[in-house]
Amino acid sequence: MRNLKLMVTGLALAGLAGCGTAYAAASPSASWVAPSSSPTATSAATSAETSVPASPSSEAPSPEAPAAPSSEAPAAPSSEAPTPSSEAPSSSPAAAHHGGPANSLMKTGTKDVALTFDDGPDPVQTPALLDLLGEQGIKATFCLVGQQAAAHPDLVRRIVEEGHTLCNHSWNHSLTLGKGSPAAIRKDLQKTNDAIHAAVPDAEIKYMRAPGGNFTPALVKAASDLGMTSIYWDLDPRDWDHPAGETDATHTARVISTVKKHTTKGAIILSHDYGQPDTIKAYRTLIPWLKTRFTLIALPVDNAL
């Protein structure tokens, strides 16, 4: 009986991680998330209507900023990804690159690696990140929260002017967006696109990422109807997770170590610019390292994946 209880507890832990508290993909072994140093057992009930469990929180974020990430119930990786290869990158097609929750995109579909940054624009961290990307000659994908885009249109313009790809990350980072009615979901995504277009009228928004990675078929369909491909991720270094007692230096080193150890060909890497100065510090080390091993890309706009 004790063994049965342990097994149930173990299953309940599998799959929780990401931007906010995200649920892992239907095939957790296909992606990797860094474990927290102090995991918490939390029940993960599966919805009969969607391919992902019910969202862990219905709390709406502050109107001034997206919801703060939760550190509860982190995922334990099902297996370790191999150390990145130094083999020269290629644009040849890879294996099927969908397979995230509700069949969202997990990989780039080539050997190239995509850096994605969520929850901005942030008035302090986003300019610092853009400066770094510019210095390194790297393009990335920015998943923008509508409220933040409306508050900082100058940064939306700069992101576009500097050649980065835009992604819709919902209006206010509601972790339960995908559980709403089709009309409510579409309204939220459209409002976010409108905020981005208020800054850059002709901006192309070809991607959508669910807050917390909480994709549902209804959310993916609404995004598709608006011309957007839904993107999950292949690697989550948990840059958003700040366990009690972890110093900035330790946090930065953990993110660097995780990305170095687990980045593989075709990876979509999840990171955050909103409120995450340690992430910017980490990428000052990571981008030069990644450039020697992979081709770093923004997700394509002309032919969205």
* Residue 54 belongs to some domain of the structure: no
Q: What is the b/e burial string over 168-183, where b = at least 16 CB atoms within 10 angstroms of the residue's CB? A: bbbbbbbbbbbbbeee
* Residue 280 belongs to some domain of the structure: yes
- Per-residue pLDDT at 51 exceeds 70: no
* Residue 38 belongs to some domain of the structure: no
* Residue 110 belongs to some domain of the structure: yes
pLDDT in tens, 188-225: 999 999 999 999 999 999 999 999 999 999 999 999 99
Q: How many CA atoms lie within 13 A of 48 on its CB side?
A: 0
Q: How many angstroms separate the CA atoms of 12 and 160, rounded?
A: 41
What lies within 8 Å, CB to CB, of 240 at 6+ separation is: 19, 20, 69, 272, 276
Name the pTM for this structure. Answer: 0.74
Pairing of strands 235-236, 165-168: unpaired
* Residue 287 belongs to some domain of the structure: yes
Q: How many angstroms separate the CA atoms of 276 and 239, rounded?
A: 8
CATH number of the domain where residue 240 is located: 3.20.20.370
Structural domains in the chain (count): 1
* Residue 129 belongs to some domain of the structure: yes
Greater model confidence, 25 or 257: 257
Query: Which structural domain, as residue segments, surrounds residue 277?
Result: 101-300
pLDDT in tens, 276-298: 999 999 999 999 999 999 999 99
* Residue 40 belongs to some domain of the structure: no
Q: Which residues are annotated as catalytic?
A: 118, 272
